[in-house]
């Protein structure tokens, strides 16, 4: 039994009897009553005035009186300027709580055999540097979106496209070749992605020194860049790679393998994974073939220097480069090839790209180009565009080595969680092993929650200190509340008090208790909305609201010390389901919640 299903039917019955008209679903607008008014749900009467031919207040009063007299779920009502506020009877809340408790996966929709297939692309790292804070937001959003879609009954394939070719990769390769002295991850004790990232930074440093020296000789910045021997060597390395030069390809494979081992370790720590990984080195040729087909069919044009372009002015855009004069590919070429291969591999219904908002234009163009090339899926691509993440100190730059490394950030979060938990006495009486597990859970939970609670479309500043706070809208606050509830349930068990599946006897509930059951019942709708709007932050803010309301209830009402056994049983069942909903909501983010803290 769902109140959201019963109430519209009851209102529809009232309208039919009072005014002799069958009201459509679009005319019955029910919403949660605002906190400053008494009631649980509010009926907006303005869409019904053409049916009632009366004032908003009269219409609300007549419907309210009919419901209070004839509907067993309505305890009372009040009218505020044409808004009908309805109070649901305590008996109904008790029945609803039992209904929620009886469904282990309440709020989640099972994935059917014929469910639509969503492919979600996220991460998209370059193999010339380790993952950084920007990648952390990307990975967490991609993983959470995948889990939310699955909770909405969709089949999901999580995919990654690794940018393992291009001039930026050649820069780190060339720097290692010139100045690496044969260093390896084993010889240095560094993760492979960190080692290669150091050489990417070193290339930029040497390049800037070369430009400074040329400019000191009187060349302009542009002239110096054109004369750079180092950049020319990097371009030559790219040309050799594309020509399958054995030595260049072997160097590329060796260094990429180091990076992949490092990435895998970071992904494990972060708790994200992929069902299928594509590599740009394997997809760019497919894209190149499609571009050349488009050129042959007159969809694209070639300039005198041999470069291939698309004229998008009829779409209100500009001209887009698809192949350089030397025949090498650009990102767009690779994305065309990757899209084609993916649709060859999977019966995809919806393709979602989790990529930052600085690439909005890129995906607008990709959709148009795929459509021009005759791929039906072109117009249906979804760009899950999200804002940038910065630290309080400002922006980060990979080339200058000022990025916040994902591994360092996670290690710092775990260490800070340990320190904060010890200061607050939350690790007292636990073993070293438990303390380590809790610190990891709290540190990574704080990181994930702080990032995912923000509307993805917004730019955000990640503040590590603010994220590890056991009060406020944070992961640790939610985790601590779960541990608090588990402590109550353990004490009940120790006292021989079983949590009933069926509540016996009628009890009078407080507004806070009724509000908590109402919040629990809304979990399914929030999960559905988060999936349909591609907005995972709705889950975070729902769980925070639930936790905040529960803590107020916990502070104001006794549970185990409640003398009325029927009311005590209700509060235990309520607590159990709040904890279960916290676990389920946080599981969508890959956040674990502790049993004790």
Mean pLDDT of all residues in 378-391: 92
Q: Report CA 49 to chain centroid distance, whole Å.
A: 42
Helix-helix angle 406-423:133-151, to 10 degrees = 80
Is 163 within 8 Å of 134 (Cβ atoms)? no
Which pairs count as long-range contacts for 301-310, CB under 8 Å and 24+ apart, including other chains? 310/365, 310/369, 310/372
* 362-373 confidence digits (pLDDT tens): 999 999 999 999
From the DSSP assignment, how many helices (H) and strands (E) are in the chain?
22, 14
Cα separation, 427 vs 441, in Å, equals: 13
pLDDT at 394: 52
Residue 440 CB-half CA count within 13 A? 12
Measured CA to CA, the distance from residue 268 to residue 272 in angstroms comes to: 6
Half-sphere exposure of 70 (CA within 13 A, CB side): 16
The conformation of residue 115, written as its DSSP 8-state character, comes to P
Portions of the chain given CATH number 1.10.730.10: 424-587
pLDDT 10s digits, 221-263:
999 999 999 999 999 999 899 899 999 999 999 999 999 999 9
| Mean pLDDT estimate for the chain | 93
As given in the structure block, the two tokens for residue 432 are 């070293």
Mean pLDDT of 389-398: 62
* CATH of 3-88 among 3.30.1360.70, 3.10.180.10, 3.40.50.620, 3.30.590.20: 3.30.1360.70
Q: Is 105 helix (H, G, I), strand (E, B) or coil?
A: coil
Q: Find the range with the poorest average confidence among 173-187, 318-332, 355-369.
A: 318-332
Residue 395 has pLDDT above 60, yes or no: no
The tokens 């509830």 sit on which residue? Answer: 485
Q: Please, what's the b/e burial string for 534-559 (b: 16 or more CB within 10 A of its CB; e: otherwise)?
A: bbbbbbbbbbbebbbbbbebbeeeeb
Instruction: State which CATH number among 3.90.260.10, 2.40.30.10, 3.40.50.11750, 1.10.730.10 fits the domain covering 424-587.
Output: 1.10.730.10
Angle at 533 between CA 529 and CA 534, to 5 degrees: 110
CATH code 3.30.1360.70 region(s) in the chain = 3-88
Q: Which residues pair with residue 44 across a beta bridge? A: 29, 83
Query: Which ranges in the chain are annotated with CATH 3.40.50.620?
Result: 122-390
Pair of tokens at residue 369: 């180009």
Exposure string for 335-370, b = 16+ CB within 10 A, e = fewer: bbbbbbebbeebebeebbbbbbeebeebbbbbbbbb
Task: Please tell me the predicted confidence (pLDDT) of residue 397.
Answer: 46
C-alpha span between 311 and 320 (Å, rounded):
7
- pLDDT 10s digits, 573-595: 999 999 999 999 999 999 999 99
Q: Given the structure tokens 């009553």, which residue do they identify?
A: 33
| pLDDT for residue 427 | 82
* Phi then psi dihedrals of residue 39, to 5 deg: 135, 170
Element (H, E) at 79: strand 74-80
- Residue 4 pLDDT > 80, yes or no? no
Q: Please state whether 472 falls in left (phi above 0), alpha (psi between -120 and 50) or beta.
A: left
Residue 373 and residue 402 in contact, taking contact as beta carbons nearer than 8 Å: no
Which pLDDT does position 538 carry in this prediction? 98
CA angle (458 as vertex; 456, 459 as ends), nearest 5: 115
Per the structure block, which two tokens stand in for 580?
């279960």
Q: How far is CA 78 from CA 33, 43, 128, in A?
A: 11, 11, 65
Length of the chain equals 597
Sign of CA dihedral 562, 568, 574, 579: positive
Q: Quote the percentage of the chain above a pLDDT of 70.
A: 98
Report the pLDDT averaged over residues 196-213: 96
CATH superfamily of the 122-390 domain: HUPs (3.40.50.620)
């Amino acid at each position: 039994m769902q109140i959201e299903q019963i109430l519209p039917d009851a209102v529809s019955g009232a309208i039919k009897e009072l005014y002799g008209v069958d009201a459509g679903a679009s005319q019955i607008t029910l919403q949660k009553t605002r906190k400053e008014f008494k009631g649980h749900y509010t009926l907006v009467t303005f869409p019904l005035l053409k049916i009632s031919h009366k004032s908003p207040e009269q219409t609300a009063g007549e419907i309210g009186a009919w419901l209070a007299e004839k509907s067993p779920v309505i305890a009372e009502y009040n009218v505020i300027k044409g808004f009908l506020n309805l109070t649901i009877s305590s008996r109904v809340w008790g029945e609803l709580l039992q209904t929620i408790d009886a469904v282990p996966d309440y709020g989640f929709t099972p994935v059917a055999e014929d469910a639509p297939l969503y492919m979600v692309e996220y991460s998209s790292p370059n193999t010339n540097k380790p993952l950084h804070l920007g990648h952390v937001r990307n990975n967490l959003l991609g993983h959470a979106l995948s889990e939310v879609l699955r909770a909405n009954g969709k089949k999901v394939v999580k995919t990654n496209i690794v940018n393992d070719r291009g001039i930026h990769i050649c820069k780190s390769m060339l720097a290692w070749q010139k100045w690496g002295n044969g260093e390896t991850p084993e010889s240095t004790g560094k993760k492979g992605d960190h080692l290669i990232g150091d050489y990417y930074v070193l290339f930029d440093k040497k390049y800037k020194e070369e430009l400074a020296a040329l400019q000191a000789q009187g060349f302009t910045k542009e002239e110096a860049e054109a004369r750079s021997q180092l950049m020319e060597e990097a371009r030559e390395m790219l040309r050799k790679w594309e020509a399958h030069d054995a030595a260049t390809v072997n160097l590329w494979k060796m260094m990429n393998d180091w990076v992949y081992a490092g990435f895998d370790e970071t992904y494990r720590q972060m708790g994200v994974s992929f069902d299928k990984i594509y590599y740009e080195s394997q997809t760019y040729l497919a894209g190149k073939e499609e571009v050349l087909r488009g050129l042959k069919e007159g969809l694209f044009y070639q300039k005198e220097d041999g470069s291939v372009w698309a004229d998008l002015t009829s779409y209100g855009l500009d001209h887009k480069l698809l192949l350089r004069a030397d025949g090498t590919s650009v990102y767009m070429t690779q994305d065309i090839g990757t899209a084609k291969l993916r649709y060859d591999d999977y019966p995809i219904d919806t393709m979602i790209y989790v990529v930052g908002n600085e690439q909005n234009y890129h995906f607008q163009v990709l959709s148009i180009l795929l459509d021009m090339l005759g791929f039906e899926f072109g117009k249906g691509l979804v760009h899950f565009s999200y804002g940038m993440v910065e630290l309080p100190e400002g922006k980060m730059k990979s080339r200058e080595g000022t990025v916040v490394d994902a591994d360092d950030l996670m290690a710092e979060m775990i260490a800070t969680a340990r320190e904060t938990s010890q200061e607050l006495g939350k690790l007292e009486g636990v073993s070293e092993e438990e303390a380590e597990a809790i610190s990891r859970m709290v540190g990574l939970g704080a990181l994930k929650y702080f990032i995912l609670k923000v509307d993805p479309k917004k730019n955000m500043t990640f503040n590590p200190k603010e994220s590890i706070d056991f009060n406020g809208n944070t992961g640790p606050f939610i985790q601590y509340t779960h541990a608090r509830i588990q402590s109550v349930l353990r004490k009940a068990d120790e006292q021989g008090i079983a949590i009933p599946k069926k509540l016996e006897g009628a009890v009078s509930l407080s507004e806070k208790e009724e509000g908590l059951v109402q919040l629990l019942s809304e979990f399914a709708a929030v999960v559905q909305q988060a999936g349909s709007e591609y907005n995972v932050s709705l889950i975070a803010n729902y769980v925070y609201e639930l936790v905040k309301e529960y803590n107020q209830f916990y502070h104001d009402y006794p549970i185990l010390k409640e003398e009325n056994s029927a009311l005590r049983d209700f509060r235990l069942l309520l607590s159990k389901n709040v904890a279960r909903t916290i676990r389920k909501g946080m599981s969508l983010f890959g956040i674990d919640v502790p049993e004790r803290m």
